[in-house]
Structure 1
Amino acid sequence: MPTFKPAPLCARTSLVIALAALASGCTTTPAATSGSCDSATYTVHDPVEPINRGIFAFNRTVDDYALAPVARGYLKLPEVFQTGVHNFVANFGEPKVFINDLLQGNAQRSVTTLGRFVINSTAGIVGLIDVSGKLGIERHEADFGQTFGVWNIAPGPIVELPLLGTANLRDATGKVVSFAVDPFGDNSSTVETLGTINTAGGIVDGRAQALPLTDELKTQADYYSALRDATAQRRADFVAQGKLGAVVSDCQSGEMADE
């Protein structure tokens, strides 16, 4: 019976280089212009605001006494550690970005995402180092809420989710779908461990990234409405970027910290 021999190192290296070349060739689309960061129009429909405010009060308590303090402590850690966590979380999420790129019908962005994931998972040591970024292959984000928006599904009313924060119904549904979709499966204890690390790291890193903005919003007279409206604006911009098929690294992320 013939025995299986792993591909030579040079062959695997050549594959990574080929993916890098292919991905870098697809990082810029005609739609990725400077105008792709312009603010999109949005509306806020909050018919059950009193209930949402009650859940928001609970979420803010959890944030004030748990998430935000941990995030502030995280920011005091060495920058190299923070960068590694951020890169790992971003890389672990690439398969879901890839799925949404495909669902949005954007072949160029899907190739970019796949190339980034392969390169960073190998040469970047499971994503701890953003080798793709150093090669000029820009990262973009995509999620199911954005995909539903690209499909022209209406945002729907505002929903304040316990522990998950403010979202319109479209994005809230996207979050639920995201929890249900697991590109890695659960057949490997190693993948399960990495998934746990990703979840914990993603919560802390994401909250830390949002601290400057939420600290600013807390100075406004009504923090609930300020955060709700800012979230609605960011998500409208995020959907607009998805419709353009833009790869814009310096635009705001589609996500916001949940209080």
Structure 2
Amino acid sequence: MRASFKRGVMGVVWVALTVLSTGCATGPNANPKDPLEPMNRKVASFNDALDDNVLKPAAIGYRDYTPQPVQTGVSNFFRNLSDVWSTANNGLQLKGRETAESLMRVVVNTVFGIYGIFDVATPIGLERHPEDLGQTLGYWGVPSGPYVVLPLFGPSTVRDTSVLPVELSADFVTKHDVVAERNVASVTRLVDKRASLLQTTDLLSGAAIDKYSFTRDSYLQYRRNQVYDGNPPDDETLPDPSAEPAMPSAK
């Protein structure tokens, strides 16, 4: 089953990259950040339907009927797993202090926080420094490329999509050998993440705006801020997120 799941995910990524590589343009008025907007809107509509009918109801039930201490423990556990890869990516970006703090967070929370269920590191001053492989590539000057919406995975870019197979192959949850436990962990992580976004998506749904455009622009700005650690260059310096960025400085 795990092999089938991975093949399915790789298939989604491969189809997305293949379509992107054909250079489908939407005409002279196409947004340079989003040349595949017609296709992306269709995928976004599919994702919205899946969310409205499956993910959001599950997240609401989880939020309303699961005790808050349990929800906190679940979120802490999965954040601890992600801190492992944040440690590696901070190291790849040559961020010495962030690498050391991330590593210490993992050690402290795993040992004293019972595998991360309790966040012991934050109260003692060990901050989180989330980093992923897409951010690492961006740090070393790899351009983001066009915006793309992936089935199930949602907003992305060509750069972030290209590293998805690597991140999935190294994911602790999907690599777990016990099928039943792996499935429960995968679903729990997905529902917990969706529950954390309920308030934000409710506000977005109630606003009189184009949800697709707002999501796209917010995501691209968010990822750009992540790559530059919250200090992106001025728009005059980098007018297009798909253009080659200047090298961010290490903290």
Q: Is the 8 A contact 1:91 1:121 kept in 2?
A: yes
Q: Are 1:209 and 2:196 matched, yes or no? A: yes
Partner-residue secondary structure (3-state), 1:93: helix
Aligned CA-pair RMSD: 2.4
Q: Is the 8 A contact 1:119 1:132 kept in 2?
A: yes
In the alignment, structure 1 segments of 5+ residues that lack a partner are 1-42, 247-259
In the alignment, structure 2 segments of 5+ residues that lack a partner are 1-30, 231-247
Q: Distance in 2 between matches of 1:205 and 1:184?
A: 14
Partner residue of 1:227? 215
Q: Distance in 2 between matches of 1:197 and 1:105?
A: 36
Q: Distance in 2 between matches of 1:95 and 1:56?
A: 31
Which aligned runs of 4 or more in structure 1 are off by greater than 6 angstroms? none
Q: Deviations over 1:195-226 (max 9, x none)?
A: 55543332112112222222222223311111
Partner residue of 1:82? 71
Q: Which has the higher contact order (CA 8 A, sep 6+)?
A: 1
Q: Is the 8 A contact 1:89 1:198 kept in 2?
A: no
Q: Is the 8 A contact 1:92 1:198 kept in 2?
A: no
Q: Distance in 2 between matches of 1:195 and 1:44?
A: 40
CA separation of 1:184 and 1:118: change in aligned 2, threshold 3 A: farther
Q: Distance in 1 between matches of 2:197 and 2:32?
A: 21
1:51 pairs with one of 21, 29, 39: 39
Give percent identity, aligned residues only: 36
Per-residue deviation at 1:162?
0.5
- Using structure 2 for the length normalisation, give the TM-score: 0.73
Partner-residue secondary structure (3-state), 1:148: helix
Q: Are 1:181 and 2:170 matched, yes or no? A: yes
Q: Is the 8 A contact 1:158 1:166 kept in 2?
A: yes
Q: Is the 8 A contact 1:143 1:174 kept in 2?
A: no
- The amino acid that maps onto 2:83 is E
Q: Are 1:199 and 2:186 matched, yes or no? A: yes
Per-residue deviation at 1:53?
0.8
- Using structure 1 for the length normalisation, give the TM-score: 0.71
Q: Are 1:73 and 2:61 matched, yes or no? A: yes
Partner-residue secondary structure (3-state), 1:216: helix
Q: Is the 8 A contact 2:73 2:117 kept in 1?
A: yes
